[in-house]
């Protein structure tokens, strides 16, 4: 499946299905419980480092058996051979998305994109789709000062996000992960084509916690985000199902306000 075909299939998913609820929980049982509390409206869930470290591929199988799409957020950052092989494994699991750090560099990004293009699509993959390869630009928890500490650069944080986004797209990635506050720079650099997934999403009134570069769901969608990753504001709320529905309604109304939709 070419990049264009995959992106157009993903963009056919209705707005309410574009919320990726982060199942940042300590084990499979907690994942099962949270999924039950969220209900069927949680069409797409994130399996990340915490849950995958505890439960491994079983976590993905469980979510696929419930017909939920999986955003496998393991943020690969390694040598090209290892990154490519890990991407192929993500494909075999039937994940809809997998992530790689753009900082892994040109050869690792290209190798991962080529591995996904060549890997057979898993029988469990939704809609016969291979996983979309998303490059993480600059973590939404990082401030400009923290970034200077680990990699001093004359670039502003935003310029660095745009540069990494350009690199990832040119290497064949399907899109990228960035903060909603980076969206204007990313869309100015690359236009509307790359799939953009934004974490760092905070409905009005919810705590930022460790996130630093945040925006509301409505602002993220208005800024051009295709999918939103949201964890604690949904999963730590008293009623996760209701919190998810509130975010879906906010997105829907942002889309109906948008002149392009």
Residues belonging to the active site: 75
Closest to ligand C5P by CB, 215 vs 229, is: 229
Q: Which of 19, 22, 133, 165 binds ligand C5P (CB under 6 A)?
A: 22
Closest to ligand C5P by CB, 72 vs 122, is: 72
What is the smallest separation between the CB atom of 80 and ligand C5P, expressed in angstroms? 21
- C-alpha 250/C-alpha 248 separation (Å) is 5
Q: Which of 48, 131, 180, 194 binds ligand C5P (CB under 6 A)?
A: 48
Q: Which of 91, 110, 140, 158 binds ligand C5P (CB under 6 A)?
A: 140
- C-alpha 236/C-alpha 209 separation (Å) is 12
Closest to ligand C5P by CB, 18 vs 46, is: 46
Options 62-70, 155-163, 229-237, 239-247: segment touching ligand C5P (CB under 6 A): 229-237
Options 11-19, 120-128, 161-169, 230-238: segment touching ligand C5P (CB under 6 A): 230-238
Is there binding between residue 199 and ligand C5P (CB under 6 A)? yes
Options 56-64, 120-128, 224-232, 240-248: segment touching ligand C5P (CB under 6 A): 224-232
What is the smallest separation between the CB atom of 225 and ligand C5P, expressed in angstroms? 12
Is there binding between residue 229 and ligand C5P (CB under 6 A)? yes
- 63-102: which residues touch ligand C5P (CB under 6 A)? 73
* Contact yes or no for 19/220 (Cβ under 8 A): no
Options 133-141, 159-167, 168-176, 245-253: segment touching ligand C5P (CB under 6 A): 133-141
Residue of 215, 216, 211 whose CA lies nearest to 246: 216
Q: Which of 18, 43, 46, 187 binds ligand C5P (CB under 6 A)?
A: 46
Is there binding between residue 136 and ligand C5P (CB under 6 A)? yes
Query: Which two structure tokens, joined as six digits, stand for 130?
Result: 């291979």
**Positions in the binding site for ligand C5P (CB under 6 A):** 22, 24, 46, 48, 73, 136, 139-140, 177, 199-200, 211, 229-233
């Amino acid at each position: 499946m070419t990049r264009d075909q995959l992106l157009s299939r993903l963009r056919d998913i209705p707005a309410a299905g574009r919320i990726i609820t982060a199942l940042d929980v300590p084990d499979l049982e907690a994942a099962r419980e949270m999924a039950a509390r969220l209900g069927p409206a949680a069409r797409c869930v994130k399996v990340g480092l915490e849950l995958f470290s505890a439960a491994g591929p079983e976590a993905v199988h469980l979510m696929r058996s419930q017909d939920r799409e999986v955003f496998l957020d393991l943020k690969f950052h390694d040598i090209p051979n290892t990154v490519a092989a890990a991407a192929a494994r993500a494909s075999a699991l039937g994940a809809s998305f997998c992530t790689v750090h753009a900082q892994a560099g040109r050869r690792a990004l290209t190798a991962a994109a080529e591995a996904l293009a060549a890997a057979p699509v898993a029988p469990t993959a939704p809609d016969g789709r291979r996983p979309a390869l998303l490059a993480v630009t600059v973590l939404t928890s990082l401030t400009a000062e923290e970034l200077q500490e680990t990699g001093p650069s004359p670039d502003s944080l935003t310029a660095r996000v745009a540069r990494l986004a350009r690199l990832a797209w040119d290497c064949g990635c399907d899109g990228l992960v960035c903060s909603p506050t980076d969206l204007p720079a990313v869309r100015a650099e690359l236009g509307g084509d790359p799939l953009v997934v934004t974490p760092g999403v905070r409905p009005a009134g919810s705590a930022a916690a460790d996130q630093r570069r945040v925006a509301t769901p409505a602002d993220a969608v208005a800024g051009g985000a295709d999918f939103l990753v949201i964890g604690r504001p949904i999963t730590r709320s008293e009623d996760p199902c209701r919190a998810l529905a509130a975010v879906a309604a906010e997105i829907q109304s942002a889309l109906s306000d948008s002149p392009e939709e």
